[in-house]
């Protein structure tokens, strides 16, 4: 293939890709919406298949169960499907009790996010947390307000709440026609069309096209809605056009504005409108920052970064799948690449691509695509692979854990194994640990409480170490950094007893209360007490 032909193909492949994650609080409808996307994209014929996973979710704290579930969720943690001319890569951001570092890390591998909000409950806690990560990285966010078939909160109130709680301008792109049992469709505020939905008898199948009314003033609207409701809608729309911000694509791409769509995923209402606008507005793969320079996806040389490791469910083999996002150039089966951390070459022979229903050997893949690389521990989070240039991608951070436990070893003679096991689990991102500089104990830190169970289970089965936990009084951990070496030294001295080192030996401090943390921040203005550590 000539260079210019390849360059054109690469450009086209990049333009067609949308790599994104869905962020939401449990039960807002992420699974339902995902299924409907697959249905509209033609990847599945009947919704209801993904649901099987849900039935098992209540028994999650049982370690074996988790292992089994993880086997299933390997296939669903990345899903590739087509919609129109686009290739979509949907990355799962595990919620519920599974909430962990992974959930955050996945957001470092997406180009945009879709936020699902329950119209009855509004903005909930997990959405707020995930949103903070999106804001940090200026990830563009599109919003879907779901469950309009229920009597939820007023649309305007929900938009206000998004602005207040999440600090982002919310711009409605559609407006619901009615709500609850009377939810009939949406008014498209961009092109002025009204789209009426019909409740399909089979909600799992692809619905019929919506009935479209082209003009808000048309008599057909009065006929369809009744005169009173039609006039109410006209008034709403007039009000809206005077208030709020106009949609600004640049502001969306900069993560400052979120376009909002209304619908009901379970009834297929508003899903197509969302998808059509998503592929139209959401960004294609972007340039990514490496230590030395920005790397554009259209560059012909291949590069990729590992953002997630998942232990395979087969305990006899202990192999792991590293999820790599392709950042530039073309991936080809069997290609030889440079592993920069280990300073050696490796062959990517058996990469996997994850489709909606199954996985297949990856013959080729392009920027924005995610491939799974089975390995026995050679690949770690943050590793960069390239076709030749020495590169190291940035931006796979560690987030300060929010739950803490002290590890108690049942058999003190096993401390070497414990150390080894924890070091490996920490590298994989399964758990974080800290060691007081004054002692030899391990304090584990997690973002989701289930991580402790998983760690105890894996220590036992994979390293033969039986460990239990003991509560500790820690409100927060913060990494400490400063250019002012004197202040840093003073901080280390003053908080000597709370000083710890993380798995990589970076200094951090434990704070027993929020007040103590705030006081430290006040007393040492030139020291950064950060809750994010970039690798
Ligand atoms: P999640 O992945 O975000 O946790 O949410 P999921 O899709 O599993 O949906 C959570 C519940 O909300 C499910 O009900 C689902 O059917 C329901 N749901 C999703 N979208 C809508 C919607 O547009 N309208 C209404 N009214 N409900 C919706 P469930 O009772 O937990 O399960 P199921 O028995 O209905 O499957």
pLDDT digits (tens, 9 = 90+) for 172-203: 999 999 889 889 899 999 888 998 887 766 66
Pair of tokens at residue 435: 């060691």
Q: Is the CB of 24 under 6 A from ligand 1?
A: yes
- Let me know if the fold of 22-281 is the same as that of 292-386: yes
Q: How many CB atoms lie within 10 A of CB 476?
A: 19
28 labeled binding residue: yes
- The burial class, CB within 10 Å (0-12 / 13-18 / 19+), for 8 is exposed
95 labeled binding residue: yes
Rounded distance from Cα 26 to ligand 1 centre (Å): 10
Give the ligand 1 atom nearest the CA of 95: 4
Closest CA to 16 of 246, 279, 202: 279
292 labeled binding residue: no
CA distance linking residue 72 with residue 517, whole number of Å: 41
The secondary structure element, H or E, covering residue 36 is helix 30-40
**Domain 22-281 grouped into CATH 3.30.70.2970:** no
Q: Which of 55, 266, 271, 274 to mutate to test the pocket of ligand 1 (most atoms within 8 A of CB)?
A: 266
ipTM: 0.97
Pair of tokens at residue 73: 């969720």
- Structure-derived torsion over alpha carbons of residues 39, 263, 283, 133, reported in degrees to the nearest 10: -110
Residue of the CA atom closest to atom 29 of ligand 1: 27
Give the ligand 1 atom nearest the CA of 269: 23
For the residues of 175-233, what is the DSSP string, one character each? EEES-GGG--EEEETTT--EEE----S-TTSPPPPPEEE--TT-HHHHHHH-HHHHHHH
CA distance linking residue 238 with residue 58, whole number of Å: 46
Q: Is the CB of 126 under 6 A from ligand 1?
A: no
Rounded distance from Cα 267 to ligand 1 centre (Å): 11
Interhelix angle 155-166/125-136, nearest 10 degrees = 50
Please report the pLDDT score of residue 361 as a whole number: 83
Rounded distance from Cα 493 to ligand 1 centre (Å): 53
Q: Is the CB of 28 under 6 A from ligand 1?
A: yes
Please report the pLDDT score of residue 71 as a whole number: 39
**Domain 400-534 grouped into CATH 1.10.274.10:** no
The secondary structure element, H or E, covering residue 437 is none
Question: Over the range 492-513, which residues count as b (16 or more CB within 10 Å of their CB) and which as e?
Answer: eeebeebbbebbeeeebbbbee
CA distance linking residue 89 with residue 323, whole number of Å: 13
pLDDT digits (tens, 9 = 90+) for 441-476: 999 999 888 889 889 998 998 899 999 999 999 999
Please report the pLDDT score of residue 448 as a whole number: 83
Q: Are 23 and 114 in contact (CB under 8 A)?
A: yes
Rounded distance from Cα 138 to ligand 1 centre (Å): 29
CA distance linking residue 198 with residue 213, whole number of Å: 14
Residues 6+ apart with CB under 8 A from 173: 188, 189, 190, 247, 259, 260, 261, 277
Q: Is the CB of 265 under 6 A from ligand 1?
A: yes
CA distance linking residue 171 with residue 191, whole number of Å: 15
Residue of the CA atom closest to atom 10 of ligand 1: 27
Please report the pLDDT score of residue 201 as a whole number: 65
Please report the pLDDT score of residue 271 as a whole number: 93
Give the ligand 1 atom nearest the CA of 265: 23
Pair of tokens at residue 217: 């003033």
Query: Digits of tens for pLDDT over the chain (535 positions)?
Result: 788 999 999 999 999 999 999 999 989 999 899 989 988 888 777 666 555 444 444 333 333 444 444 433 444 578 899 999 999 999 988 766 667 777 888 899 999 999 999 999 999 988 998 898 898 889 999 999 999 999 989 999 999 999 999 999 999 999 999 889 889 899 999 888 998 887 766 666 666 677 888 888 888 888 888 888 889 889 888 888 777 788 999 999 999 999 999 999 999 899 999 999 999 999 999 999 999 999 999 999 999 999 988 765 455 556 678 999 999 999 999 999 999 999 999 999 889 888 876 777 889 999 999 999 988 888 988 899 999 898 999 877 888 999 999 999 998 899 999 999 999 888 877 899 999 998 889 999 998 888 898 899 989 988 999 999 999 999 999 999 999 999 999 999 999 999 999 998 999 999 999 999 999 999 999 999 999 887 6
Please report the pLDDT score of residue 203 as a whole number: 64
Half-sphere exposure of 148 (CA within 13 A, CB side): 29
Q: Are 421 and 467 in contact (CB under 8 A)?
A: no
Q: Name residue, tokens 């988790």.
A: 66
Q: Which of 22, 27, 117 to mutate to test the pocket of ligand 1 (most atoms within 8 A of CB)?
A: 27
Q: Is the CB of 54 under 6 A from ligand 1?
A: yes
**Domain 292-386 grouped into CATH 3.40.50.300:** yes
Tell me the domain boundaries of the chain: 22-281, 292-386, 400-534
CA distance linking residue 111 with residue 137, whole number of Å: 10
**Adjacency order of strands within the sheet including 303-311:** 344-348, 335-339, 384-386, 303-311, 320-328, 370-375, 352-354, 359-361
Q: Is the CB of 114 under 6 A from ligand 1?
A: no
- The dihedrals phi and psi of 180, each to the nearest 5 degrees, come to 60, -135
Pair of tokens at residue 103: 């959930």
Rounded distance from Cα 404 to ligand 1 centre (Å): 32
pLDDT digits (tens, 9 = 90+) for 316-353: 556 678 999 999 999 999 999 999 999 999 999 889 88
Q: Is the CB of 268 under 6 A from ligand 1?
A: no
């Amino acid at each position: 293939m000539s260079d210019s032909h390849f360059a054109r193909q690469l450009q086209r492949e990049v333009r067609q890709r949308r790599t994104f994650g869905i962020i939401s609080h449990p039960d807002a409808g992420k699974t339902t919406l995902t299924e409907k996307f697959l249905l509209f994209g033609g990847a599945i014929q009947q919704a209801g298949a993904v649901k099987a996973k849900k039935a098992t979710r209540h028994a999650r704290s049982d370690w074996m169960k988790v292992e089994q579930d993880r086997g299933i969720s390997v296939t669903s943690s990345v899903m590739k499907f087509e919609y129109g001319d686009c290739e979509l890569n949907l990355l799962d951001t595990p919620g519920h009790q599974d909430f962990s570092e992974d959930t955050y890390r996945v957001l470092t591998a997406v180009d945009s996010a879709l936020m699902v909000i329950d119209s009855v409950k509004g903005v909930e806690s997990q959405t707020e947390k995930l949103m903070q990560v999106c804001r940090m990285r200026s990830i563009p966010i599109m919003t879907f307000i779901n469950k309009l078939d229920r009597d939820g909160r007023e649309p305007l109130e929900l938009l206000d709440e998004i602005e207040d709680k999440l600090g982002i301008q919310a711009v409605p792109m559609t407006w619901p026609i009615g709500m609850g049992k009377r939810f009939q469709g949406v008014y498209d505020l961009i092109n002025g069309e009204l789209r009426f939905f019909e409740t399909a008898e089979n909600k799992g199948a692809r619905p019929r096209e919506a009935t479209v009314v082209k003009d808000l003033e048309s008599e057909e609207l009065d006929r369809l809605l009744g005169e009173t409701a039609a006039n109410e809608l006209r008034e709403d729309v007039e009000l809206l056009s005077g208030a709020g911000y106009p949609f600004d694509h640049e502001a969306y791409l900069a993560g400052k504005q979120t376009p909002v769509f209304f619908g009901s995923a379970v009834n297929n209402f508003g899903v197509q409108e969302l998808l059509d606008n998503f592929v139209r507005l959401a960004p294609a793969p972007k340039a990514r920052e490496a230590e030395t320079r920005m790397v554009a996806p259209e560059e012909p040389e291949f590069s990729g970064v590992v953002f997630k490791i998942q232990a395979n469910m087969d305990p006899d083999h202990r192999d792991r799948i590293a999820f790599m996002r392709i950042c530039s150039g073309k991936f080809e089966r069997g290609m030889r690449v440079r592993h920069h951390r280990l300073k050696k070459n490796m062959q990517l022979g058996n990469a996997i691509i994850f489709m909606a229903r199954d996985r297949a050997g990856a013959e080729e893949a392009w920027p924005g695509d995610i491939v799974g690389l089975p390995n026995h521990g050679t690949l770690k989070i943050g590793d960069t692979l390239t076709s030749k240039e020495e590169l190291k991608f940035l931006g796979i951070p560690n987030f300060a854990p929010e739950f803490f436990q002290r590890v108690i070893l049942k058999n003190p003679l096993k401390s070497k194994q414990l150390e080894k096991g924890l070091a490996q689990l920490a590298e994989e991102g399964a758990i974080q640990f800290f060691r007081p500089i004054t002692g030899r104990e391990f304090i584990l830190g997690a973002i989701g409480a289930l991580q402790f169970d998983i760690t105890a289970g894996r220590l036992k089965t994979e390293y033969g170490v039986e460990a239990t936990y003991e509560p500790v009084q820690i409100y927060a951990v913060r990494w400490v950094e400063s250019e002012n070496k004197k202040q840093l030294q003073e901080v280390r001295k003053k908080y000597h007893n709370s000083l710890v080192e993380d798995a990589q030996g970076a200094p951090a401090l434990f704070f027993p209360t929020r007040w103590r943390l705030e006081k430290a921040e006040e007393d040492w203005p030139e020291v950064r007490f950060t809750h994010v550590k970039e690798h």
